[in-house]
Amino acid sequence: MRRSPSYLAGAAVRSAAGAALVVALSTPAAADSGDGGFTIKDPRITESSGLAASHLHPGIYWTHNDSDDGPYLYAVDSRTGETVATVTMSGVGAPRDVEAISLGPDGDLYVGDIGDNLGGTWNHVWIYKLPEPKVLKDQTIRATQYVVKYADGPRNAEALMVHPKTGRVYIADKNEDGGHLYEGPAQLSPSGTNVFRPVATVDLWVTDGAFSPDGRQLALRGYFGGIAYTWNDGKPKRQARLNVPLQGQGESVTYTPDGSELMYGSEGKGSPVQAGSVPGGGSGSKSPSQDGGSTSADGGGGAGLSTGAKGALAVGAVLLVVFGVKRLLRRS
């Protein structure tokens, strides 16, 4: 059978993706370097798409799978990489594409069922809110469900952030050519539709975001980079580039509870969560570069790259080809 050009291009994408996987598997995981990172060991967590540092339990990070895994949240101990509690959300129906998680100043977990891989075909998405459990054990917790729409029409999004002082919820949409930061109402309504309105442009293909614990900084990450903004009373101003590690599929970011580091997560079985510096210093961090420029991969300040860094660059190059071909397919 004669294959169409689009079929052949699709095959090239699959081949390139396979090559990327081979390189990734042969690259040592930076999360095992003792630099504050860890590896998620739970075999159920294969598509970790959001990350939030616990307010009640030191060393615990909340995560979840994306797509239609179910109404589950996982509490992962960063000291061991093991899941210490699984929370099942009730009262939310069947989640569609859960992409983000954040903690608010009220001590509640906010879960963003905001993904739309079909490019904005769903006329509404959902946010779920539930109290962070005081005891870490497997349990079911009833959540409040909020209907969300955007003032300028449906869109795909993977980043949901709750401001740690005001409790206001923000969403950044996911767009290859850059998108917008959307602001929700002052208080979410469980009975009506919550309209999110664009308040700032974002020059990044955003996969996740987080506010610093003091609320003065907003970090947004993508697959190959990130941007830190000073919050500037709700009028974000670009501050610096982020030192985002090259990961197999970089999907998540959160600040450590003291704001001294950023933690970056990736999808995949046994996925790494890697620590990075905070532009502007952060609370207790070690004098990071103000422009967010990368430091030497071998830690010695020299120009050489370690084996791990070379492997990461190879992964990045292959993934750039993959995403480039996919983009051409969409435009053909």
Total-model pTM? 0.79
CA atoms within 13 A on the CB side of 281: 3
Place of tokens 């952030």: 161
**Amino acid identity for residue 137 in this structure:** K
Place of tokens 């997560």: 265
Q: What is the rounded CA–CA span in Å between residue 305 and residue 309? A: 6
**Amino acid identity for residue 307 in this structure:** T
**Amino acid identity for residue 66 in this structure:** D
* Region of 33 on the Ramachandran plot (φ > 0 left; ψ -120 to 50 alpha; else beta): alpha
pLDDT reported for residue 146:
98
Q: What is the rounded CA–CA span in Å between residue 311 and residue 209? A: 26
Smallest CA-to-CA distance from 69 within 41, 91, 43 is with: 43
**Backbone φ and ψ of 159, nearest 5°:** -120, 120
From residue 109, alpha-carbon distances to 54, 100, 209, 301 in Å are 9, 10, 15, 40
pLDDT reported for residue 141:
98
pLDDT reported for residue 223:
93
CA atoms within 13 A on the CB side of 50: 32
Q: What is the rounded CA–CA span in Å between residue 133 and residue 112? A: 18
pLDDT reported for residue 120:
73
Element (H, E) at 312: helix 307-331
| Long-range Cβ pairs for the range 174-177 (8 Å, 24+) | 174/205, 174/206, 174/207, 175/205, 175/206, 176/205, 176/323, 176/327, 177/205
Residue pair 54/87 in contact by the 8 Å Cβ criterion = no
Reduced to 3 states (helix: H, G, I; strand: E, B; else coil), residue 238 is strand
- β-pairing verdict for 193-202 and 144-150: parallel
Please return the burial class of 33, using the count of CB atoms within 10 Å of its CB with bins 0-12, 13-18 and 19+: middle
Could you tell me the mean pLDDT of each successive run of 10 residues in the chain, 332 residues long?
Answer: 36 40 36 66 96 97 90 97 98 94 97 88 94 98 98 96 98 94 98 97 97 98 96 96 92 97 96 95 47 31 32 45 42 38
Residue pair 177/171 in contact by the 8 Å Cβ criterion = no
